Structures are given as C-alpha cells and as structure tokens.
Structure 1
Amino acid sequence: MNVLGIIAEYNPFHNGHLYHLQQCRQMSEADFVVVVMSGNFTQRGEPAIMDKWTRSRIAINCGADLVLELPFAYGVNSAEYFARGGIGILSGLGCVTHLGFGAEKGSLAQLEQAASCLAKESDRFRALMKQNLDEGHSYARSREAAVAETMGTRLAQLTLTPNNILALEYLKQLKLCNSSIKCIMVNRKGSGYFDTELKGDIASATAIRSHLSQEQIELCVPKETFQALRKAPPVKGYFDLVRSAVLNRSCEELSRIFSVGEGLENRIKGQIRRAEDLESLIGQIGSKRYPKTRISRILCQNLMGLTYFEEQFYARVLAAGPGGTKLLRQLKKTAQIPLITNLNKIQPLPDLLEKDILASDIYNLLTGANLYKNCDYVRHPYIESSNSIQFA
C-alpha cells in the first residue's frame, strides 16, 4: 500500500495545487493521499482567506483522501518548524510511504545534497552562520552564504526560493529522523510564488488573493474554490486585535513569545502606537536582519500567546473522502500519535491543541462567525463517503 503525504496551506487551493497533487499521486502510485494543512492562520502570520473547514473540504473534493490540521505552533512559524510539524505528523501515522512537494529550481538529487549539509551543520557551517548573523544579515541570507562557502554557489542558489526553502527543510527533517519515506518532487508550473498578476490558468496564491474581485480568477482555480471564495466572509479587525495584544503585554512578556529575540520586543513596543495599519507596523519593526515575514509571524504568535513549547504531534482530522475513511481505519492500527476526530472525547487536550482552538475562536471573531456554532468543540470533520455526505 502506497500512502502519499503532502504538507500544504491551500490558501486558496488553485490549479497549481491540483496539478501538483495529481502529479505526485501518479508518480508515487499512491493508493491514498493525506494532506497536512495549516489551520486558520498561515505561515506568513496572516489569517487564511477561508477557514480551515472550507479549505479542507475543497482539498477532498479536488482529489485528497484525508486532511489533517498542522498545529498553529508549527504552521505559523519558520520553515524549519513548519516542516518539522508536517514531517512529525506524517511520520507518526506509521503508514506514509511517500512525501510529495514542489520546487522552483534544481533536481531532487541536488536538493538532497544541500539538505545533507543543513542536517549535519559542520563546525565551519555553524561558524559561518554565526558570522553572517552577527553582521546583521537575515537567517535566510546567512544560510545561503554558509552553503555557498561550504558547498558552492550552485547549491546555495537552491536555498532562496519559497518552495525550495520548504523542500530543503522537509528533506532535512526526514534525514534527522532517519525516515524511510521516499520523496517525490514536482517542479513548479506557471507563475512564480511572488507573482501578483493573473497569468493563464495557473496563477500564484498571492495573485489570486490580490484579485478576488476579478472574475478572471475563475480560470485559475477549481470550481469548488471559486464558489467558496464567492461565499467567504471578509476578515476584518485583525490589526486592532494585534495591536491590543501587544499593548497588553510588557516587554518582558513579549520577549518570551516564540520567535522574538535579541531585544526585538523593544522595537515592537516602540512602534505599536505609531503605526496606522498592519503593513506600516510590520515595515517599521522589520529590518535587514528581521524580514517582514518574521515580524508578521511574531505578531500572530503574540496574539495566540505562543511561547517556547515542547514537541507534540497529533493527527487532528479536518476532512476525509471515501478513501480517507478507509485510511482512518488503517491508522487506528498503525498511528503512533493521537488520532483526533472529536475534541470532546480527548482528555486531557495536548497543550498545542489549545492554541489551535484559540486560533479558531479568534478567526471566527475576525470573520463575524458565530463563536459557539463554529468553535472547534462543535464543528466536526467533513466526511464524504459512498453512502453519505456530511458538511462540517
């Protein structure tokens, strides 16, 4: 039995994602596809364009068999932790045979070579990283320079693009845990990650989110996504909640937020009253050393009160198709981590799961959804079987 794992955000699920899923399924000859997907907030530290229940249902309708939630603590974090969470869950299922991911540049062999360097971190590599960080460079640029010095500029260039960065982290995590999971790589097709224009039938998620009012996006997404986008409520008031959460913490308390470090809490407190919107706040705090995406994640982590945490992995089911229900029966025999379909039956709750529940509550506030009817204790997974369809 071949089980393909994919780690994703699907914010929103577009034609590029559909192509990737289909290609990975074909290349791995998978009997089942399980997706570990971000919840209501994304790795960039932003509210998702649609809630996790809707996005997981779309994924099932577009070919996935089972969708599990990537915990907030991993999902709104650096690429390293994002990958660690996804790989930890897939490995914990005990039956995943393949991992499928996308990349902009290079071959799988080249990425594996670079990942080996990152996993081992020789003394020279660590010294170069420290030197570059001390000079004020960002983590990404420091790592690029360290890889260039130790393995050459050709491999260093593979560490810069978004999909490659995650691919390297997936490969690194698999090496660190000595996993037998085989990797399937699909080269990115169509627009680049940061492209803001709608081009052809495969556009970036960034472009789609930027042009929601244009009918042209119908060409770039499956019909299930297009219909859901038309019904999705707008996210409002996020900046006010972010600002309130910062104002409500002292500098000492801010310093304990997961991604804060080296006095960054003082910059955040110093700018919180000056900024007129979220974009200006992030811009005023950010610097060459601290890129905007890290600042955005910090503000989101602070909103949820995420401090340093112990590793926890669990398989929280968001949606399952006919194949997924079969796979769930198999997982009851193979899974080495908790399998969760109903929060009300889990006592005590894993500590990290409480952050997922809070993230859902805050997302419901931002979208004006009924807090009780849409809370994680009441909402249930979307289950589609050959005999019945249940909407979450």
Structure 2
Amino acid sequence: MNVLGIIAEYNPFHNGHLYHLRQCREKAEADFVVAVMSGNFTQRGEPAIMDKWARSRIAVECGVDLVLELPFAYAVNSAEYFARGGIGILEGLGCVTHLGFGAEKGHPDELRQAAVYLAKEPDAFRSLLKKNLDAGLSYAKARESALAQIMGPRFSELSVTPNNILALEYLKQLQLHNSSIKFVMVNRKGAGYLDKEPKAGIASATAIRNHLDPGQVDQYVPQETAEALRQAPPLRGYFDLIRGAVLSRSADRLAQIFSVGEGLENRIKDQIRRADNLESLVEKIASKRYPKTRISRILCQILMDLTSLDGSLYARVLAAGNGGTRLLREIKKTAKIPVITNINKVASLPGLCEKDILASDMYNLLTGASLYENCDYVRHPYIRGD
C-alpha cells in the first residue's frame, strides 16, 4: 500500500494545487493521499482566507483522502518548524510511504544533496552561517550565502524561492528522522508563489487572495473553491486583536514569545501606538535581520501567546473521504502519535492542541461567527461518502 503525504496550506485550494496533487499521486502510485494542512492561521502570520473546516472539505472534494491539522505552533512558524511539524506528523502515522512537494528550481538529486548537507551542518557551514547572521542578515539570507560559499552558486539558488525553501526543509527533516519515506517532486507550473498575475492558466494563492477581482477567480480554482469563496465571510478586526494582545502584555512577557529575540519586544512595544494599521506596524518593526514575514508571524504568535513548542505531536482529523476513512482504520493500527477525531472524547488533549482551539476562537471573532457553534468543541470533521 502506497500512502502519499502532502504538507500544505490550501489558502485557497486552486488549479495549481490540483495539478500538484494529481502529479504527485501518479508519481507515487499512491493508493491514498493524506494532507497535513495549516489551520486557521498560515505560515505568513495571517488569518486564512477561509476557515480550516472549509479548506479541508474542499481538499477532500478535490481528491485528497484525509486532511489532518498542522498545529498552530508549527503552522505559524519558520520553514524549519513548519517542516518539522509536518514531517513529524507524517512519520508519526507509521504508514506514509511517499512525500510529495513542489519546487521552482533544481533537480531532485541536487535538493537531496543540499538537504543532507543542511541536516549535518558541518563546522565550516556553522561558522559561515554565524558570520552572516552577525553581519545582520536574516536567517534565510545568511543560509543562502553560506551554501553559496561552500557548495557553489548553484546550490544557493536552490534555497531562495518559497517552495524550494520548504522542499529543502522537508528533505532535511527526513534525513534527521532517518526516514524510509521516499519523495516525489513536481516542478511548479504557471504562476509563482508571489506572482500577482496568472500564468499558463494558473494563478497563485497570493493573487487569488489579494489581487484578482471576484469575477476573475473562478477560472483559476476548482468549482468547490469558487463556491466557498463566494460564501466566505470577510475578515475584520485582526489589527485590533493584535494591538490588544501587545498592549496587554509586558515587554518581559513579549520576550518569551517563541520567535522574539534580541530585544525585539521593546521595538514592538514602542511602535504599537504609532501604527494606524497592520501593514504600517509590520513596516515599523521590520529590519534587515527581521523581515516583514517574520514580524507578521511574531505578531500572530503574540496573539496566541505562543511561548514554546513543548508537547508531543498528534494527528487531528479535519476531513476525510471514503478512502480517508479506510486509511484511518489502517493508521490506528500503525500510528506512533495520538489520532484525534473528536477532541471531546480525548481524556487529555496534547498541550499544543490548546493553541489550535484558541486560534479557532480568534478566527471566529474575525468573521463574526458564533463562538459556540463554530468552536472546536462543537465542530466535527467533514466526512464525505463516495
């Protein structure tokens, strides 16, 4: 039995995701596909365009068999931790045979070679990385430069695009786990991750969220996504929630937030009253060392009071098709981590799960949804019968 694992956000699920899913399934000759998906907040530190229940349902309707939630603590974090959480869950299922991911550049062998090097982190690489960080570069830029200096310019190019950065981290985690999971890679087709304009009939999720008029979206997404986007409530008040979270915490408390360091808590406290909107706040806090995406993640971590990643991983089911329910029966025989289908029936929830529940409550505040009817204690996984 071949089980393909995919780590994704599906924010929203578009034609590029459908292409990737079908290509990976074919290459892996997969009997089942399980996706580990970000919950209500994404790696960029932003609320998702639709809640996790809608996005997981769409994924199942478009061909994924089983959708599991990537815990907030890993989902709203750097590529390294995003990958650590996703790979940790797939490994923990005990039955995943293949990992599928997309990449903008490079040959699979090149990515594997670079990932092995990053996993080992020899002294020469560590020394160059520290030197670059001390020079004020962000971690991503510092690593890119260190790779270029040691392995050559070709390898630095492999670590600069969004999908490649994640691909390297996935492969690095497989190395660190000494995993038997094989990988299949699909070259990104059409628009790039940050492209504002569609290409080859595919629009990026960024373009769909921020740049395309509602009337333009339908041709770039499956029908299920188009219908859900039309019904999705607008998100309002995120900046106010962020401001309230920062104002209500001392600088010492902010210093304990997971991704905060080097006195950044003082800069955040200093700027919170000076900014009129979220974009302005991020701009005022960001620096060469702390790029805007990292600041956005930090602000979201402050909102959830995320101070550590302590706690075991778990497989929390968000949605399943008929194949997914069959796969779940197998997973329960092989899983090395807790499998959660109903949090009300779990005697003791994993600690990190509390942040997922809080993230849902915060998201419901943004959409104006009922805090009770839409909370994680009341909502249940979407189960689709074929």
Normalising to structure 1: TM-score of the pair? 0.97
> What is the CA-CA distance between 1:201 and the residue it aligns to?
2.2
* Matched residue, 1:357: 357
Work out whether 1:384 is the aligned partner of 2:381: no
Native 8 Å contact 1:198 1:217 kept in 2: no
AA aligned to 2:348 is P
Provide the rounded CA distance (Å) in 2 between the counterparts of 1:79 and 1:214.
31
Matches within 5 A, 1:169-184: 169-184=169-184
Native 8 Å contact 2:190 2:198 kept in 1: no
* Matched residue, 1:389: none
AA aligned to 1:365 is L
RMSD of the TM alignment (CA)? Answer: 0.8
* Matched residue, 2:209: 209
> What is the CA-CA distance between 1:175 and the residue it aligns to?
0.1
Provide the rounded CA distance (Å) in 2 between the counterparts of 1:89 and 1:138.
28
> What is the CA-CA distance between 1:332 and the residue it aligns to?
1.2
Native 8 Å contact 1:198 1:216 kept in 2: no
> What is the CA-CA distance between 1:88 and the residue it aligns to?
0.3
* Matched residue, 1:332: 332
Native 8 Å contact 2:311 2:351 kept in 1: no
* Matched residue, 1:258: 258
AA aligned to 1:379 is R
* Matched residue, 2:318: 318
Native 8 Å contact 1:211 1:217 kept in 2: no
* Matched residue, 1:284: 284
* Matched residue, 1:96: 96
> What is the CA-CA distance between 1:312 and the residue it aligns to?
1.8
* Matched residue, 1:239: 239
Three-state SS of the structure 2 residue aligned to 1:42 is coil
Native 8 Å contact 1:71 1:85 kept in 2: yes
Normalising to structure 2: TM-score of the pair? 0.99
Equivalences, count = 386
* Matched residue, 1:390: none
* Matched residue, 2:298: 298
Work out whether 1:341 is the aligned partner of 2:349: no
* Matched residue, 1:161: 161
Matches within 5 A, 1:90-239: 90-211=90-211, 213-239=213-239
Native 8 Å contact 1:174 1:181 kept in 2: yes
Provide the rounded CA distance (Å) in 2 between the counterparts of 1:194 and 1:267.
28
> What is the CA-CA distance between 1:123 and the residue it aligns to?
0.7
Structure 2, unpaired ranges of 5+? none
AA aligned to 1:114 is A
Native 8 Å contact 1:99 1:182 kept in 2: yes
Question: Residues 20-67 of structure 1: CA distance to partner in whole angstroms, max 9, x if unpaired?
Answer: 000000000000000000000000000000000000000000000000
> What is the CA-CA distance between 1:82 and the residue it aligns to?
0.2
Identity %: 74
AA aligned to 1:292 is K
* Matched residue, 1:68: 68
> What is the CA-CA distance between 1:15 and the residue it aligns to?
0.2
Most deviating of 209-218 and 253-262: 209-218
AA aligned to 1:65 is D
Provide the rounded CA distance (Å) in 2 between the counterparts of 1:201 and 1:40.
28
* Matched residue, 1:307: 307
Work out whether 1:249 is the aligned partner of 2:249: yes
> What is the CA-CA distance between 1:143 and the residue it aligns to?
0.1
Native 8 Å contact 1:66 1:324 kept in 2: yes
Native 8 Å contact 2:66 2:320 kept in 1: yes
Flag the 1:212–1:134 CA change in 2: closer, same or farther, 3 A. Answer: same
Structure 1, unpaired ranges of 5+? 387-392
Three-state SS of the structure 1 residue aligned to 2:319 is strand
Provide the rounded CA distance (Å) in 1 between the counterparts of 2:212 and 2:225.
12
Question: Residues 360-388 of structure 1: CA distance to partner in whole angstroms, max 9, x if unpaired?
Answer: 000001001111010000000000124xx
Provide the rounded CA distance (Å) in 2 between the counterparts of 1:213 and 1:147.
40
> What is the CA-CA distance between 1:212 and the residue it aligns to?
5.1
* Matched residue, 2:47: 47
AA aligned to 2:338 is P
> What is the CA-CA distance between 1:131 and the residue it aligns to?
0.6
Three-state SS of the structure 2 residue aligned to 1:196 is coil
Native 8 Å contact 1:198 1:208 kept in 2: no
Native 8 Å contact 2:39 2:72 kept in 1: yes
